[in-house]
Structures are given as structure tokens and as C-alpha cells.
Amino acid sequence: MLKRAIIFHHPASEGAAVFAQQLGREFQRSGIHNIVGDAWVELPEGEVEQANLIVCIGGDGTVLRAARVTIPHAIPILGVNMGRLGFLTDMSPRDCFNHVERIMAEDWRIEERMMVRALVADGDRSEPAVYHGLNDIVISRRAPGRPVYVDVRIDRAHLALYRCDGIIVSTPTGSTGYSLSAGGPILSPTEHHLVMTPVAAHLALGRSLVLQPESVVELKVTSDAGAIISVDGQDDVPVSSGVAVTLQVSEHVTRFVRFREPSSFYGELAEKLEFQMSSPIIRR
């Protein structure tokens, strides 16, 4: 039986905030302790560790934020979609209330998704920094019109020196995001391969590479203006020229709550891509 839950909502969606409060009251009536709040506001100490479930109301961005908040506790995440077909949220508010008894009984299936880990050794910092992303980690140019030079090694073997706008290292979950728009392949989200995709590479191998699960990617980035490391398109970290970034499969996973049995990923993909392409505004 569910005992403690966190209900996140998107900060810019009034509808998401209203629904989050409604769901919180429903949980409260059943004796389930819950906290309702903006996904980008820091929670009181200890709340994440004690939660049995995180409900994300909004879109894919809210889920991506929650995936990083739950590290290292791997708390199950339930995504509730507010109006658009998302790749990470597959339940509508109506579906959520139709399943509320099953949610409270923890009568669900868990689907695990791999994450990507980056170790960043920047000369401006005394200690290397570590970042984890559910979708992707991107190293890109800092100044408009100025490319970065990225020397790439995979499993200690030299691959290429890229003159490009950036390098994307994505998970299978993130293969339908920025990597796809840069020409990368689509992977089934429960696979265990990272994808490296260069962005606007000049006079270098411009194709994506699908890596082995145990592969390690080493990047040395040089640029007159420095570079930016972006985690899931949400956390942007400026770094200096000469930064070394090591990327590999993270030791952490994101755990999604599912109520439906596994269906055809490719059938759902076709439906979602058709919707995204027909939408006048595309936001992740």
C-alpha cells in the first residue's frame, strides 16, 4: 500500500497545478502522506528518500527533472500528460483518476530506463563534477557562430577530431529527442546502448554511432569561447576550453510506473511522431 508520495507539476501550467492539488487531496483522504509542488523547487530534506512514488503532472520536461531528483533512490515515477502526446508521459488525467485505486495499492508494472553519466574534469574546478541524464548529455559551442573542436576517443581508441556545433551522447530514451533532430537513430527505450551524434560536423565523420553497453567515450573540447555542457536540455554548465568529459552508462536507472502491458513501441512511436510533426509548437 502506498504510504508517501510526491506530486510534481510543471511550474508554467495552471491546469497541471490544479490537477496536482486534486490528486493530493485524493491521496490525503486515503491516508497517503503527500507533498505537492513545482518540480523545480527544492523539497524539504528527507522527503525524496521516504517517498514510494513520484507523480509528474505536465510533460516530458517535468519527468526529466524528476528522474534526476530521484538519484540515487530510483523511486518509481508516474507521468501524467497535460494535453499533448509525450514520449515519457503515457497517462492522461482521466486515466490517472481511473487508476487511482491501483496507484494507491501499488498495483503496477515497473519499466527501467538506463541513464547516461558524465565525469567532467575542468581546469577551473578543483574536483571533477559528475552529471546524470535520462535523455542526453550534450557538449556544445558557447558562442554563436563559433564551432568547438572535440577530440573523441571510444574505448581508448582515437576516433576523430570534430569541428562541429556539438556532440550529443544520448540514451535510448533520449534517441527521440535532440539526437533524432540531429540525424541520429531511434532506439527502443529499454535497450542498453548509448548513441553518439555529432551536430553539424565539418569535414569529419558526420554519422551517429551506436555504442556497446560497456563503452566509454572520452571527449577533449577546445574552443576560444569555451563550451556548454547541457544535461537533459535543462541544466547548462559553462566549461572552459580544454575540458575533458568522460561519458558512459550511468550506474543509476529511472523506474517508470506502467499499467498497460508492453505494446508495440514502433506503433506508438509512429503515432507520437505524427502528432509532434503536426503540432504548431514543439516543446519537450
Q: Which are the catalytic amino acids?
A: 60
d(CA 134, CA 14): 26
99-102: long-range contacts (C-beta < 8 A, 24 or more apart)? Answer: 99/259, 100/23, 100/26, 102/259
Nearest to 159 by CA among 40, 74, 140, 167: 167
Separation in Å, CA 145 to CA 17, 75, 178, 201:
39, 41, 19, 13
What cell was used for 109?
A: 508494472
Helix, strand, coil share of the chain (percent; to 5): 20, 40, 40
Q: CA–CA separation, 67 vs 34, rounded Å?
A: 18
Q: Is 79:86 a contact under the CB 8 Å cutoff? A: yes
Helix (H, G, I), strand (E, B) or coil at 210: strand
Cα–Cα dist 118/178, whole Å: 17
